[in-house]
Amino acid sequence: MSYITRTSSIVMVDTTCLTEALNRINASVSINNASKLSITLEGKHWQLTRLPNGTYSWRGEQSYGQQANIMFNKIGNAYQAIIKERQEAERREKERIANLESQLKKLNENVSFDGVKHKEVEFDKSKLEKELAQSQANLASIEQKTSELEKSKQHYLSVTKDQVEEKAKSGEWGLTALNDDTQKRQTRIQLRRRVKN
């Protein structure tokens, strides 16, 4: 037997990114703590529970299931868009830093002509150094958010694997294979029922 769990194309476990996504879709948040999240989106109120692996769950009347899927899809699309924007911003800042460092290097080589420093060159150099410092600060902020996102994903994977293994043991199932494919971002867990004589 293989244990298969289905999630959306993106698992929303990073609280910073989730908060940004909720703001983006104009959801008002009334409770946001370690175990609960209460939001109002388009006039509908949703009470979500945070599970130990960091994901959010909703339980309610089956008749609201389709609306819950729509709500999760809206949040998920905004969440995914924010991640893509962060990746693009990181790429742009790295290019900008490389360009500024190149310009600064050229200016440093030509700071003086015949031993005389020119004020215009010094001004340009000072301006470039400020821009470089700002870009480096922006990049550090983006990289910190990326690091937090990766930690949340790793926590999710680790806890989910542990939960599946624990559930298998309690149901007399044995773990026979655990394959983690980071390229496909997929984990396959195979279980077999223990045979009793």
Domain ranges of the chain: 2-193
What does the block give as tokens for 12?
A: 């929303």
Q: Would you say how long the chain is, in residues?
A: 197
pLDDT digits (tens), the chain, 197 positions: 444 444 455 688 898 999 999 999 999 998 888 888 899 999 899 988 888 888 888 887 877 878 888 888 899 999 999 999 999 999 999 999 999 999 888 877 766 555 555 666 677 788 889 999 999 999 999 999 999 998 988 888 888 878 877 777 776 776 676 676 666 666 676 777 766 65
What's the pTM? 0.74
Dump the DSSP string for 45-106: EEEEEE-TTS-EE----GGGHHHHHHHHHHHHHHHHHHHHHHHHHHHHHHHHHHHHHHHHHH
